[in-house]
Amino acid sequence: MIYRRKTYKIKPEKLDDFNTFFHTYLYPNQMKYGAKLVGRWVNEMKDEIVAIWEYKSIEEYEQIESKIRKSELHEKANEKRKELGELFIECKQDFLTSTAFPSTYHPPKHIVSVCGYITNHHGEVLLVRNLHRADTMEIPGGQVEEGETLEEAIHREILEETGATVQLEGITGIYQNMTSGVICVVFRGKYLSGELRPEESETCEVAFTKLTKDNINQFISRQPFRNRTLDAMDGNYLPYEAFHVRPYELISRFEMKKEHEFGQN
């Protein structure tokens, strides 16, 4: 693995503009072609931002950069920079390699996320457009925080991203991204209440949509997001338990539902 450290010198008053630009243009283009963001930090004075990206090799980095420079989103980014003016005073980058053998410092890690296929009484599906994945709509969700059950996480994420409270029915699928290490658990449920609204730092669009297998490509452009949505549309449920041990204590459980039970919902 190699790591690219990109350092930006900015004016503090430009921090919000830079963050929005990064999540709308830079981040999604890098992720689309295979780069992995290790992390991004700003100093106490808010005049320097550091982003570290991970690649398998320098050759992979060069291939990704070549594809990005030819992309439509890169052209849009250049146009937006002209519109915004000076986003940063200067930037520089260098490359780092790890001094440790694999797993010397850190045990294997996976990120667990959740998302929800939520319908209203018209049968419409709740979709969002995220700032850093503006090329597609998707069902709402996000990362599970430490100490949360999957059930708690999906309720929190949907409320944060859309303003909606929901009733969960069950889990319809589990999806593992081998590139990013993210495991996503998809719930299906029903809208209960709440005025829909986007969350400023994450979503730019939130709406119930008449979604079908025939029109899904018009709304959801990324194949992994389409797959999990189509699976949830079919409504084949998986059992799920959250529990403590020593002594055993069941926190929550979703039972698998039969087809005729699903049809009555």
Predicted confidence pLDDT, tens digits, the chain (265 residues): 899 999 999 999 999 999 999 988 999 889 888 899 999 999 999 999 999 999 989 999 999 999 999 999 999 999 998 888 888 999 999 999 887 655 455 556 788 999 999 999 999 999 999 988 889 999 999 999 988 899 999 999 999 999 999 999 999 999 998 777 889 999 999 999 999 999 887 889 999 999 999 999 999 999 999 999 999 998 888 887 778 887 888 887 776 554 444 444 4
Q: How far is CA 131 from the centre of its chain?
A: 10
H or E stretch covering 265: none
Residues 6+ apart with CB under 8 A from 60: 34
Location of structure tokens 């459980």:
253
Instruction: Give the single-character DSSP code of 215.
Output: T
Strand-pair partners of 252: 242
Asked whether 14 and 21 are in contact (CB, 8 A), the reply is no
Total-model pTM: 0.62
**Structural tokens at position 252:** 């929550």
Instruction: Give the single-character DSSP code of 108.
Output: -
Say how far apart CA 1 and CA 18 lie, in whole Å. Answer: 28
Give one word for 49, left, alpha or beta, with left for phi > 0 and alpha for psi -120 to 50: beta
Domains of the chain from N-terminus onward: 2-96 (3.30.70.100), 111-263 (3.90.79.10)
Instruction: Give the single-character DSSP code of 183.
Output: E
Say how far apart CA 158 and CA 139 lie, in whole Å. Answer: 9
Please compute, for residue 160, the number of CA atoms within 13 A of its CA located in the half-sphere on the CB side. 13
Amino acid at 254: F
